[in-house]
Amino acid sequence: MVEKITNNDMSKALNAKVAVVDFSATWCGPCQMLAPLLEELSQELTDVKFFNADTDENTELAIRNGISNIPALLLLKDGQVVDRHIGFAPKQQLKDWINK
């Protein structure tokens, strides 16, 4: 399950051992294509927590994380951003990125 981030509060993602945070927007076509892939990955990679932050609703959070293009994925390990991925990618490429 991909959990929604609200009120610019990313604390659950920061407290997870491994987390993927998807910064997106409802008007973004590639974001809408990416969402179902992340939902599938959340079912397959049970040791990874998945989150979604709508940049229109969480503008402050997007600014704090330097998000200027969407979709943007942040990979967090023990509360630290260890990698970023910008744009759409196929499911296997995303899975490989998370597992590296």
Active site residues: 28, 31
Could you tell me the strand order of the sheet in which 80-86 lies?
2-4, 49-54, 18-24, 72-77, 80-86
Burial of 6 (0-12, 13-18, 19+ CB in 10 A): exposed
